[in-house]
Structures are given as C-alpha cells and as structure tokens.
Amino acid sequence: MPGVSRRGFLAGAAGAAGAAGAAWTSMLLAGCDDAPAGEESNPAPNNEPLTGAAVAFDGATQAGIRTPTQAHLNLAAFNLRDGVDAAGVRRLMRLWTEDARALASGRNPLSSLEPEMVEWPANLTITCGFGPRVFALAAPDAAPAWLGGIPAMRRDALRPEWDQSDLVLQICADDPVMCAWALRHMTRAGVDYARIAWLQQGFMNAYGSIPKGRTPRNLFGQVDGTVNPSTDDDFAQQVFNPDGSSSLVVRRIAMDLDGWERLDRASREQVVGRRLDDGAPLTGHDEHDAPDLSARDEFGLPVIDPNSHMARAMPPADHPEQRFLRRPYNYNLPPAPGSESLSDAGLIFLAYQKDPEAQFTPVLRRLMEADRLNEWTTHIGSAVYWLPPGTAQPGTAQPGASQPGASQERGGGDAYWGETVLAGGRG
C-alpha cells in the first residue's frame, strides 16, 4: 500500500470495520497496555530504581533541557521532504508530539506494535527544535533574528555532513535500548514528512555510576558543566524566555586525545585552568570556588593562565549575560581504516540559552581567538535551533511549570510543539 503509513492504515482499518471491529481493536489495544507476556513466569519483577524512572513530558518548558543529563543521546537532524507545506509541518508536529508524549510516559504510541519496548522509559526525554526552513514555510514573520546561525570562526573546520537542518530531535535516556527504540519510532512515524540528515550519538556516565549532582567528565578527563545555571532565577535569566521557549546550539568538536595524552598532568591543568581531580580552579579548593585571575605564584606569574580554557570562557564583568546551559555528550568512534590515530573521539556540545547572539557567540569568539585548548580541539559541525515552549495534553488545563525556572506566564499551553507559532501559518 504505497503512500499509506502504518498510522493511517490502523486509523482507516478501525473506521472501516464498524462498531464491532472498533470494539475488537479497542480490546486489542487495551491488551497492549497490560503487563508484558511472560510476566507470570517471572513473578519477581525488577524493582531497581531505573525501571520506574520517568520524566514528565508536558510542562511550561520542554523536558530534556533542565533535566539532569541522561547516559545516552541520539541527536537526530531532519530535513523536510519536498512538497511539505505549512499544513504538513503542523501535522508532523501533532504526530510527533503525541508519540513523544506516549513514549516518555511508558505508553505505546498508536502506530507501534511493540508495547513491550516502551514499558520502562528510563528517564526518556524527546526535545524538538526548529531550523530556519520551518519558519520560512509555516511562520515567516515569527523567526528569531538569531536563527541565521553562528558566524564563521577562523578556526572552524566545519563539515557539510554536520550542517544545519530543518528540524532536530534530541532523544536522551538512561537505557541505550530505550534511546534507540525512541529514535526508531520517531523516525518511522515522521517518514512521510521528513528524512534524517544526520545522527550524532553520544554518551555520558552510566545511570548511578557517579554520585547524584556530581558534574560529569568529558574524554579529556575534565569536569564539564561546572558553571551551569542551578537556581530558578538562573534558568529564567539565562535559558528560558517568558513564553517557555529557548534555543539550542549544537557544536560537534573533534578532540585530539592522542596529542592530549602526551601532556603531563600539570600541563593539562594549566591548559584548562582547573585541577583535574576535583575540577577546582587552580586558585581554589572546591569545584565551584570563584577563580582568582589576579593571583600570582612565587615567580610573579599568573596562577591561572589568562588564555586557559576557563579564563577565556568566563564572562567579562561588563557582560554578565554571557552565560548559558552546557549539556555536552562524548562520542568515541573507531579510527578510520589506515589511520595512525587510536580513536575518533570528541564532544557533542549542546548549549541552551535565550539568545545565542548575545550569550553564546561572544564566548565562542573569545575561545576561538586564544583558548589554549584549541591545540587539541577542532569544531567540525554547527547548527542552531529554536526550541518551542512546553506542551499540555489536549483537553487539560495549563499545567504551569513542571520544571523549576520556567515561566508561569503562558508556558505549557500548546497541544503540540510550536502550536502558537505555527498556527499563524497558512497551508
């Protein structure tokens, strides 16, 4: 049946079957929500904490932003198919939002025949972002001024395979099978409207492998995310707009681990500006101590190199707005055949902020100018997306902010991702 999706087939079949067929289909679907087959032979279910871990999908802001970093990432970029118009974009958003809500809740989406795959969502979050073409098609007057992309930097070595796309789905979970299945389902569900442009897969520490609240590490061994916002006010000032929207900057950064590992430990700490063991600045005792850039050693030299990564990333005193949320993931691939390198590794750097032009780009520009870490890092991919506000399940009242720091003014009211913005489009 060319041109007919599984969702359409099921919906059509249910309608054509009449009352009796509809009743039978309802019974079948209800059975899909019951305990999985074979439970009788395993009367002692797994009661580990992760089996009951779920993140609320609806709220003033999208889940997957302030959510503590899960262990696994599938970052999937999509381009709209030829012929998809504003009405098609809205249909896709309705479909994707409905299915993402079900998956995150441990419920089987309508078009899936595998309810046992979604029983334990394992902190699954699915976050959606819009690229420029979505606005050009469906809401040309609503596009943010900053959505044109990050300006070219002289040290960039960007590759077209990691370029801007029309849409992005950030799929995170603490179980790799759940993460993979959610990607599979969302890709399949939207196949009539969009095709995958690229996929970036990353990982962080496994669930429960580091103490709760501990800053994770990247493959250089350094803690990554020390200066992230932590309070409701921080998130309101740095990350979320009053309507609950935000932005996502994706930078794919290749890391020269072979070269980095030739440095002694003291040299690595000088490059970063922090101790490797606990992440404390070289002038401090704890990870979150304020660095003292004026401190001098016994020879009169700066204790913290002014061109260290930490020093270059710090916002100037007259621009405190140059802060944002970092949510990075590592990637580690086999080296290319014939390569003398021991790995193909790096960072999928995810940054969230209200306005990338005001918050992210100035920091990136400083880092590209003089960051000592540049000798071992190369930016090979870049993309920017507008993140719609959170949603509310159709037929329910606005839930308000399910995540602290989100605005209470109007968030969480859209029935599907971007409804308020896309509703002004003409199909």
Supply the DSSP string of 227-286, one letter for each residue: T---SHHHHHHHT--TTS-EEEEEEEEEE-HHHHTTS-HHHHHHHHTB-TTT--BTT-SS
Q: Report yes or no on 308 lying in a domain.
A: yes
pLDDT of 38 reads 39
Q: What is the SS3 assignment for 163?
A: coil
**Mean pLDDT across 315-336:** 96
Going by C-beta distance under 8 Å and a sequence separation of 6 or more, which residues neighbour residue 210? Answer: 216
Q: What percent of the chain has pLDDT over 70?
A: 84
Tokens, residue 116: 């046992």
Calculate mean pLDDT across residues 115-141: 96
Query: Average pLDDT, stretch 19-35?
Result: 38
255 belongs to a structural domain: yes
Q: Compute the distance between CA of residue 275 and CA of residue 308 in angstroms, rounded to an integer.
A: 12
- Of 10-24, 95-109, 386-400, minimum mean pLDDT range: 10-24
Higher local confidence (pLDDT), 110 or 253: 253
Least trusted range by pLDDT, from 160-169, 192-201, 333-342, 372-381: 333-342
**Residue 350: domain span:** 46-422
Region 403-407 average pLDDT: 40
Q: How far apart are CA 252 and CA 328, in angstroms?
A: 10
Q: Considering the domain boundaries, does residue 74 fall inside one?
A: yes
Beta strands in 278-339 (DSSP E): 325-326, 329-333
Q: Is residue 292 part of a domain?
A: yes
329-341 CB burial, b ≥16 within 10 A, e <16? bbbeeeeeeeeee
pLDDT at 409 over 90: no
pLDDT band at 47 (very low <50, low <70, confident <90, very high): low
| Gyration radius of the chain's alpha carbons | 23
Reply yes or no on whether the pLDDT at 107 is more than 60: yes
In this structure, how many other beta carbons lie within 10 angstroms of the beta carbon of residue 118?
21
* 88 occurs within a structural domain: yes
In a domain, residue 4? The reply is no
pLDDT in tens, 212-271: 888 999 999 999 999 999 999 999 999 999 999 999 999 999 999 999 999 999 999 999
- For position 29, what pLDDT does the model report? 36
Q: What is the largest CA-CA distance in the chain?
A: 88
Tell which wins on pLDDT, 217 or 2: 217
- How many domains is the chain built from? 1
pLDDT tens digit sequence for 220-233: 999 999 999 999 99
Residue 426's pLDDT band (boundaries 50, 70, 90)?
A: very low
Residue 394: predicted pLDDT: 81
What is the spatial distance between Cα 166 and Cα 383, in angstroms, rounded to a whole number?
A: 10
Name the pTM for this structure. 0.86
Q: Is the pLDDT of residue 60 over 90?
A: yes
- Note whether residue 34 is domain-resident: no
Average pLDDT, the chain: 88
Question: Comparing 85 with 400, which gets the higher pLDDT?
Answer: 85
Higher pLDDT, 393 or 415: 415
349 Cα distance to chain centroid = 9
Q: Active-site positions?
A: 224
Contact 130, 386 (CB under 8 A): yes
pLDDT at 31 over 90: no
Instruction: Band the pLDDT of 111: cuts 50, 70, 90.
Output: confident
In a domain, 427, yes or no: no
pLDDT at residue 19 tops 50: no
Q: Would you say residue 330 has pLDDT above 90? A: yes
